[in-house]
Structure 1
Amino acid sequence: MMPGGLSRSRKATPEIQAIADKVRPQLEEQTNKKYEKFEAIEYKSQVVAGQNYFIKMDIGCGGFLHIKAFRGISKEDDWQLDGYQANKNKNDELTYF
């Protein structure tokens, strides 16, 4: 993958679910919602001055969110929610935002 470009879409792994779970409290604070279901479905990655992950989340009842999680270069950097898109459906493509 070329630095700066998005990877192809891949099926979510337990590692991707763990990243999503780390930024979930930040998302719930920003959206003022609690998500009973929060399942990573697929993701794309991007190499920047660190790493971005764009993750499609199944939030139940036919609802989906796209979240962007970022971690800097330093080992001490923790995952941060860097944005989200609400009102998505299962077939919406993950794109840069």
Structure 2
Amino acid sequence: MSNPGDQIQLCCFLWAHPGQEAALTAYEDRVLELLHEHGGTVVQRAVSDGAEGRPHEVQLYRFAGQAGLDSYLADPRRTALAEERDRVVARTEVFPVELRPSA
């Protein structure tokens, strides 16, 4: 996959622990507010019902480069919420994508 420059584009699937769907969204609201300070942008967030094993939330985001992603992941405000994250998030899958303009 080619990206302009060093840009990193990611897709994230998130599954909530049973009964923690609203708490997962609230947690993500908090930590995603930090992205812009690290050169990141939320491109899109989508919430589903999580039925039949589907993720409860899907996120697309981009960072200017690896250093921004690394600094976001290490942000002490984000890491301080690790216990909350473990309580509400059952599973996460993150993978690189190529974001293309819609036709």
The two structures share one fold, judged by TM-score above 0.5: no
Higher-RCO chain (CA-CA 8 Å, sequence separation at least 6): 2
Bigger Rg, which one = 2
Structure with greater strand percent: 1
TM-score (norm 2): 0.30
TM-score (norm 1): 0.31
